[in-house]
Structure 1
Amino acid sequence: MSTVIEQAVQARLVASAPRMETVPATLRYDREDPFAVSMAFPPPATLEGVEVSWAFARELLARGVDAPAGDGDVRVRPYGYDRTVVEFHAREGVAVVHVRTCELRRFLERSQHLVPAGREHHYLDWDEELAALLEEYP
């Protein structure tokens, strides 16, 4: 069984202009980092012209499809009947995207099959984590 789940989604970039532009994005979940998910945007969809990826808590995404969640760099909230808003806050500004809630729920369900919520700690390699931490602080 694969330890990584990737799912392509269409995100609508919300801008000050009245039209919302559709941009491709990829949701990713890796069993080796069981508490996190990431959302990556390809170079053409970013101001810098390089791929940009944001990592955040899987639990934040799961809570945010039903009710506003997050108060940091990433915030998630329902929008209307079938959309979820994901906000990415950085020094340079805020990027706001709308994603179909059904796509997010499908991704979360797939990640739950890989690592059930509440069982993430069983998938951590504590020896490797400790070795990496000790390596950072000689």
Structure 2
Amino acid sequence: METTIELPALAWLVTAEDQEIPLTATLRYTTGDPLAVFVDFPAEAALEGEDVSWTFARSLLDQGLRTPAGHGDVQIWPHGRTRTVLEFHSPFGLALLQFPTSTLRRFLVRTYEVVAAGQEDMAAVVERGLNALFGGV
């Protein structure tokens, strides 16, 4: 049986003018994809006016809460004592968001309570990847 954890989280979108626009994102984890975490944004927070979901490694979030992490589309780093920055890059531009560090930590702890680090079902992950690569054949 698949378990999903969802946690609504206040975030601040940092604009090019250094304004902080508050929004609510949903942090999501599912045992069906145990190596990943998801950050879902509502349509009103996206350029295209549609819901947007970013997926990245759970280990990246774990590392980024302590030290700068990531080289590519998702980068995470601590910002002061109370906030953590998540930077998302896409072909359309980038989004810089700040989350309360305590919220991200609470979410991460809940994911590890469901699937401990190193206990992920790798066979299922590999099978899903191969199915996606070969079109489910």
Normalising by structure 1, report the TM-score: 0.90
User: 2:42 matched to which residue of 1?
Assistant: 42
AA paired with 2:8? Answer: A
TM-fit CA distance, 1:43: 0.5
SS, match of residue 121 in structure 2: helix
Structure 2 gaps, min length 5: none
Structure 1 gaps, min length 5: none
Confirm or deny that 1:84 pairs with 2:66.
no
Instruction: Tell me the alpha carbon deviations over residues 43-99 of structure 1, each in whole angstroms, 9 at most, x when there is no partner.
Output: 011111100000000000000010000001000000001100000011111100000
User: 1:11 matched to which residue of 2?
Assistant: 11
TM-fit CA distance, 1:127: 8.6
SS, match of residue 47 in structure 1: coil
The root-mean-square deviation of aligned C-alpha atoms, in Å, is 2.2
Q: Residues of 1 paired with 2:9 and 2:37: CA distance?
A: 14
Q: Residues of 1 paired with 2:13 and 2:65: CA distance?
A: 17
AA paired with 2:51? Answer: E
Residues 126/91 of structure 1: CA separation in 2 closer, same or farther (3 Å cut): closer
Q: Residues of 2 paired with 1:126 and 1:21: CA distance?
A: 36
Instruction: Output aligned runs, 1:44-123, within 5 Å.
Output: 44-121=44-121
User: 1:129 matched to which residue of 2?
Assistant: 128
**How many residues end up aligned between the 2 structures?**
137
TM-fit CA distance, 1:27: 0.5
Q: Residues of 1 paired with 2:132 and 2:30: CA distance?
A: 20
Q: Residues of 1 paired with 2:18 and 2:39: CA distance?
A: 24
Q: Percent identity?
A: 44
Normalising by structure 2, report the TM-score: 0.90
Residues 64/130 of structure 1: CA separation in 2 closer, same or farther (3 Å cut): closer
